[in-house]
């Protein structure tokens, strides 16, 4: 069986009409009082609400300015230096190292190429006033080439004792084996593969942003290994 629909019937007789009028009047009085209370609250709180609106507007404006500033800085970096993957692939080992040095300089890391015989797993070293020292091991490969875990072991072993580095990274125009990436992630050896290299060199993402190297990061991670 269906549920019975509730039907409201019209008041009958003077007494019911009077009762309905009293209820309606009470509801009206209550609504007026609530509205008056709300107006009073808003009147008393308007300085706070205004300050809240201004604060929210300021935060929103600051965030927009940050985003626009970041885009402008990226555009400026690209204007200074932009290298495509095809250009990387056409380089030899020495040219690849020089290109990585130039990219670090573009991103605010005064850097120098140190690769060569006896480089102790460091081809480029950069020093940043806020982020410390970074050691870069460059691995130029043929397209499709992979970098294995042994490179990660070597960089980890020399970054602190030999170079007093705060950050270590291996960069390739190829790819890394799964074991190499996993080992690097566990032992704080950053890696830049072909996709990340495109973001860094072609798109203009700064290396410290790409790798998450905060200016407030703990310093001397590899130096303590000395």
pLDDT at 21 over 70: yes
Residue 68 pLDDT level (bands cut at 50, 70, 90): low
Q: Map the chain to HEC letters.
A: CCCCCCCCCCCCHHHHHHHHHHHHHHHHHHHHHHHHHHHHHHHHHHHHHHHHHHHHHHHHHHHHHHHHHHHHHHHHHHHHCCCCHHHHHCCCHHHHHHHHHHHHHHCCCCEEECCCCCCCCCCEEEEECCCEEEEEEEECCCCCCEECHHHHHHHHHHHCCCCCCCEEEEEECCEECHHHHHHHHHCCEEEECHHHHHHHHHHCCCHHHHHCCCCCCCCCCCHHHC
Tell me the domain boundaries of the chain: 13-80, 85-225
User: What residues have CB less than 8 Å from 53, skipping those under 6 apart?
Assistant: none
Q: What is the pLDDT of residue 69?
A: 61
Q: What is the pLDDT of residue 226?
A: 35
- Mean pLDDT, range 96-121, rounded to an integer: 90
Selected residue with higher pLDDT from 115 and 209: 209
pLDDT at 77 over 60: no
Q: What is the pLDDT of residue 97?
A: 96
pLDDT at 142 over 90: no
Domain made up of 85-225: CATH architecture: 3-Layer(aba) Sandwich (3.40)
Nearest CA-CA partner of 135 in 118, 153, 117, 113: 113
Strand-pair category, 132-139 with 175-176: unpaired
Q: What is the pLDDT of residue 203?
A: 92
Q: What is the pLDDT of residue 214?
A: 75
Query: pLDDT digits over 172-193, tens only?
Result: 999 999 999 999 999 999 999 9
Selected residue with higher pLDDT from 55 and 77: 55
Q: What is the pLDDT of residue 109?
A: 93
């Amino acid at each position: 069986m269906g549920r019975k629909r509730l039907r409201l019937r019209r008041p009958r007789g003077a007494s019911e009409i009077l009762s309905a009028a009293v209820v309606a009047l009470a509801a009206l009085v209550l609504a007026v009082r609530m509205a008056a209370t709300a107006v009073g609250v808003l009147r008393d709180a308007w300085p706070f609400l205004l300050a809240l609106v201004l604060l929210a507007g300021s935060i929103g404006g600051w965030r927009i300015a940050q985003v626009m500033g970041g885009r402008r800085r990226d555009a400026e970096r690209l204007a200074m230096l932009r290298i495509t993957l095809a250009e990387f692939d056409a380089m030899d080992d020495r040219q690849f190292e020089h290109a990585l040095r130039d990219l670090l300089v573009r991103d605010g890391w005064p850097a120098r190429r140190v690769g060569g015989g006896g480089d102790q797993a460091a081809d480029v070293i950069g020093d940043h006033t806020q982020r410390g020292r970074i050691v870069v091991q460059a691995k130029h490969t043929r397209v499709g080439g992979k970098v294995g875990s042994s490179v990660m072991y070597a960089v980890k072993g020399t970054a602190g004792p030999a170079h007093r580095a705060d950050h270590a990274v291996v960069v390739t125009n190829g790819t890394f084996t799964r074991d190499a990436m996993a080992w690097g992630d566990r032992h704080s050896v950053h890696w830049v593969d072909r996709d990340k290299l495109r973001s860094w060199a072609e798109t203009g993402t700064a290396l410290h942003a790409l790798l998450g190297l905060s200016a407030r990061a703990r310093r001397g991670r590899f130096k303590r290994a000395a």
